[in-house]
Amino acid sequence: MSRICVVEDEVSISELLEINLRLEGYECEVFADGKAALEAIESRKFDLILLDIMLPLVDGINVCEIIRLKDNETPILMLTAKNSSQDRIDGLKAGADDYLVKPFNLEELLLRIEKLLKRSGSKPVVSFNEFSFGQFTINFLTYEVRNSKGPITTLSKRQIMLIKLLIDRQGQVVSRQEILEKVWGFDVYPTTRTIDNYIVEFRKIFESNPKHPVHFYSIRGVGYKFMA
């Protein structure tokens, strides 16, 4: 039985979804804000996430990005409130697999869910689970780092989330605030020194001269930037 995570703050819609998904034979859990959904997704496995964009506490675009830092596999279907093409573009950029504009046709929604679940069941291992730069290859599933000679180290889960966020935004400065929210979570307040320590670690692993980095840059007072 497939388990579906529904993230929707409009009770009339979430009730409609819950009833109909159960009727279709799915297990279903409903969350009314992005933060509660992220906590649940962190603690248990869902087969599909149905995600509204306009949500309290953490919006759907951010929820989607945070999920994708750790998990490329679970299908995400976005619900966009208005017929805004920008919302749809943002959603797909953040890593959603499909979207549906509200008000949606229930039958169409159920068909798309079925399709996404089928596709994910037979999904081959995709190449974007790895990222290569210079002589290094990082595997986002096994957390392993290799160079041309073989495996050199295994990163922690938090290191993988941070490095993936920086790589996803290659060439752009990612702010400290965003890093803390996306990698450390919304309730945790580590000092920015914590991020610095992670960057120092990355430089030891990936830079030929850690004192003169060419991949992991700190932009004083602003944030961090990765360049391949």
Footprint on this chain of Ca ion (rule: CB under 5 A): 9, 52, 54
Provide the CA 60 distance to its chain's centre, in angstroms: 11
Kindly tell me which of 9 and 98 has the beta carbon lying closer to Ca ion.
9
When the beta carbons of 82 and 158 are compared against Ca ion, the nearer one is 82
> 221 phi and psi, to 5 degrees?
75, -5
**Hey, how many other C-beta atoms are within 10 angstroms of the C-beta on 107?**
9
Supply the minimum distance, in Å, between the C-beta of residue 54 and Ca ion.
Answer: 4
The nearest distance, CB 156 to Ca ion, in angstroms, is 34
Residue 29: partners with Cβ closer than 8 Å, 6 or more residues away:
3, 4, 5, 6, 40, 46
Closest CB to Ca ion: residue number? 54
Report angle CA 45, 47, 48 to the nearest 5 degrees: 115
Packing angle between helix 60-70 and helix 34-43, nearest 10 degrees?
A: 20
Shortest distance in whole angstroms from residue 76 CB to Ca ion: 16
Closest to Ca ion by CB, 96 or 205:
96
Smallest gap from Cβ 97 to Ca ion, in A, equals 19
Task: Pick between residue 9 and residue 39 the one whose CB is nearest to Ca ion.
Answer: 9
